[in-house]
Chains A and B, each alone.
Chain A
């Protein structure tokens, strides 16, 4: 589903590469944790998958397409197959929960009847049934993240990218979010989650890829957060 072949990303000429000759393969339906200190290249990895950045060297394949050759007008189609969730939720404050989720479908031109059936379905799945008319500021952090996940998943992407989705949440709430991501993963969606949260990684026992200053230092199935354990 995602394949990196010797990918290097250099932001500024002469600077240390943000990613240094990284090669890896993520299969369809996998759940992968991306761990490492701040600045280790986790976000760059996600940005490369979203094609917000292009690799400086090497090749990136996502959903069967080589992103280096992808012309920019095809990028939106690539992104429709990828959902993205962030630490800061990125909800629209002046829209209700329903509108926030529907927005993702409206802007890619889905018909109204499709939106009216899919959005409530997805909101129920993330556990927000009955809160459709609330605004983001009326919700708890965990609920806001659920809205963000619903928005990322409402178009049924084959890949879900999460950039520290539990970074702003307390442990209990984080656990709920992880259960939700696990459920989404069970529907066949590939999930890649960048995180600092060792408890969660240790609990879930999924594949762990560790980056350190741009290099991949560990790729362990059913791994834990710290490599020394």
Chain B
């Protein structure tokens, strides 16, 4: 890769040539800081991390241990639980995409109050997962307001964040509450590019809304839907740390572990960076596979239409 320094070869440089040289190098100078940062702090660490996952922790720091870390991971109920939770997220993904999609459809069709809905729905998206998590920890506490409300209508208290079968759904639900506005805005931008003549034709024919959605809107927005699927999945796999950290700390009994939380615990708390690197490599592979699968599935279903 060319560098930004200009070699001073000519002892009596003519200004014109010098300037031309400088001009030729100028684009490289403009990108140099960005390339330096991205390569040193984003791409190189990826290589380093994958390498690192094949070495040992503690006493065997730096020595090659082959696949030992991966074997350890697969034998760790916390990590296996984290992967099972990823499966759950994938299963819930269509719901997390359909909710903003449907709401965007109604807003696009101008239900009464659509302007207000649009900006109100988006607002939790600007709040940090830490803030959102803290607020819902308050609301969902065992002796908190939600249970007080349920108690007043005679329903028994639910340990929203303390029951292993309930907690993960609560965390995912709060994540969806906080982020559906982002996907909604993306859907609305997609609607702006939708060919309205088909929509009008379907309406004149008196087609029912579900048919319009399925036969006109879904095919027309296939690219947007694909984008939302991928970004929602990435969001679920990489931006729930704040919620987990504040709401459950991975508990109860590891029931709300996700790979990103596992990586953090191994690296930050238990000082097992090599094991954490192996978990990170698995997370990366999961993301690549899920991303490719979704793109190919959606592409195929798009072709059938």
Asked if chains A and B come from one complex, the reply is no
- Which chain B residues have a beta carbon within 8 Å of chain A's beta carbons? none
